[in-house]
Structures are given as structure tokens and as C-alpha cells.
Chains A and B, each alone.
Chain A
């Protein structure tokens, strides 16, 4: 069955620390990958997306993600986090024909 797995449910780190959130998917064939962010009390916003081409994707707010096909992974990274990056982060995937499927989410708390 198709699924999206996020490795960490909660991450706590200090400002200026580096962030990496893991995401693995189990889809065959062509897959489209997304990272969404949900700030406290707000709706989901698209951070970045991968469809094809350069496997290193840059998104908004200094985030990037790397698609590694051999590992079925699409990990999200940010070199230096800020307090304002406190949010819940969702990885999502879909085939060209399927429905968007979300991971369980990772709650990130950045402490001053």
C-alpha cells in the first residue's frame, strides 16, 4: 500500500541549529513530493515541491529538500532555524493519478 512516513513526531532545537526532517514514501513509478508547513493556528502552506529534474529543491523561508530515489526519501533541511520556524511540518506524496497522501507530521519547536 502507498504510504508516507515521517521519522520524528517531535523535534526540539535551539535557534541557529540545523534542522533535518526525514520523510520516506512507498510509491512505485513517478511520484510527486511536497512539504507543507502549518504554523500555530494557521492553515497548511506549501514549502516546496518536487516533480522532476534537480533532486535538490529549494523552497521558501530558506528550506530545501533532497529527493533520493534509491532511498525513497525526501528529507527537509534548513541550515539555521529561527524561533519563527516553530510549526508542524507535513510531508506528502502522490502519483500522477492518485490522491495526495500525508505523513503524520513532525512538530518542531525552536527555543530562543
Chain B
């Protein structure tokens, strides 16, 4: 039972390089999310996809793009990495966005360092 799978687990980039973080879920969830986790700031929503074919900005979308490739996969792209994007990135999924009582299920995270 894989749940939410993220790749890679670790990555080091130079400033200006591009990178795509991959996320896939096998729970047939409709909604998927990308968060970044920084010390003392909890998790902040970057982008989300309420359903296949839709994406929307979250709290901190600048410098990122996303693609909901199909129902299972939701990727996060950094076009030109900046040191401020050094963080731990978590992908999550839930049954249905807007259904308040549905918890989100998280992947193991990607630890990204930008030099």
C-alpha cells in the first residue's frame, strides 16, 4: 500500500537550475496538493489540484508551476531555482477538495537545497 510517493527524496541544485518534483498517489483521490515546510512556519500550500484537469494557486505559488498529469500524478516544477526555495516539499492527496472532513495523506517529502 504505497499511498503517496514522491521522487526524488533529496536533491541539490545550483541557483538558476530547473527541477521537477514528482508525486503519485494510488488511493484514487481526486485532490492533490504541494506544500513546503520551513522551520517555524509549518506547512504552506504552494499549489493544489482539486480534480484532474484543474490547478490553483495556494499561499506561496511564486517561482513554481504545477501539472496535474492525470488523476494519479501531480508534479511541481521550479523553472529557475533560488536559494529561498531551499525547503522540504510535501505532496498530499485527499478524497475531495472542499469536503471539509476529509484528511490529507502525505508523501515522505523531498528535501531540496539550492546553492
Inside 8 A of B109's CB, which chain A residues have their CB? 43
**With A9-B40, A90-B43, A99-B58 known to touch, is A43 a contact of B106 (CB < 8 Å)?**
yes
Interface string of B91-105 (1 = CB under 8 A from A): 010000011110111
Interface of B is mostly: loop
Which B61-89 residues have C-beta < 8 A from chain A? none
Q: For the complex, is A32 an interface residue (Cβ under 8 Å from B)?
A: yes
Q: What is the interface residue range for chain B against chain A? A: 20 to 34
Q: A99-B45, A104-B40, A104-B41 given as contacts; is B106 within 8 A of A44 (CB)?
A: yes
Q: How many residues of A contact B (CB 8 A)?
A: 25
Which residues of B have CB within 8 Å of A42? Answer: 108
Q: Which residues of A contact B107 (CB under 8 A)?
A: 43
Instruction: Establish whether residues B103 and A46, one from each chain, have CB atoms under 8 Å apart when the complex forms.
Output: yes
Contact of B42 among A30, A34, A49, A102 (CB under 8 A): A102
Q: How far is the CB of B71 from chain A (nearest CB, A)?
A: 20
Q: How far is the CB of A30 from chain B (nearest CB, A)?
A: 7
The 4 closest A-B pairs by CB, nearest first: A96-B100, A102-B42, A32-B100, A51-B101
18 A-B pairs (CB sep. < 8 Å): A30-B100, A42-B108, A44-B92, A44-B106, A49-B103, A51-B100, A51-B101, A90-B42, A95-B100, A96-B98, A97-B98, A97-B100, A99-B45, A99-B58, A99-B59, A102-B43, A104-B42, A105-B40
